[in-house]
Copies of this chain bind each other. A is one copy, B any other.
């Protein structure tokens, strides 16, 4: 069971019978913004979960004959068990700009500042997008999802600030 497994299990549990495409839409509104994966995973993983009995699927008999997934009792149990387990691992932060910064001592002068400026802009855009999303979702989704977005917003705030500082005052290269 990977993180993807639980993500799928959780989405299906929360939303009742849904298709892979529905999951994709749900992901776009929340976690998908900082935990990305291709939509093909949302087809492969549910199938795996059906195989081990944590999900069940039914084919629509009419129209597009899409595949709808529902959670089984074992699936629900697995999810709540996992949700109750405290985890010791920290956060994985993967950011190409940060990797570039790490090696800025071997970069051409001026490059870091440009990369930092672009990163700052990206983070600021993400920040306002999420603030808008929270406004839109407030009231129509649960407090848990909003809390998740809240951390995202806080991160984007510090990231924006950080990269602006780097852009304005890049570490001396060489």
Contacts and interface: CB of A to CB of B under 8 A. Distances in A.
Overall SS of chain A's interface: helix
Interface stretch (A39-47, A49-57, A143-151): A143-151
A91 B95 contact: yes
B106 A155 contact: no
Interface in A93-135: 93-108, 111-112, 114-115, 117-119, 122-123, 126
A34 B147 contact: no
A74 B91 CA distance: 34
Number of copies: 2
Chain A contact patch, size range: 35 or more
Given A143-B171, A144-B103, A3 B96 contact: yes
A83 interface: yes
Given A79-B106, A91-B94, A97-B87, A154 B158 contact: yes
A129 to B, nearest CB: 10
A60 interface: no
A93 B90 contact: no
A166 interface: yes
Given A92-B94, A152-B93, A7 B99 contact: yes
A30 interface: yes
Contact of A83 (B106, B117, B155, B166): B106
Given A6-B103, A31-B99, 8 more contacts: A14-B103, A31-B102, A35-B92, A36-B92, A101-B148, A142-B171, A150-B162, A158-B158
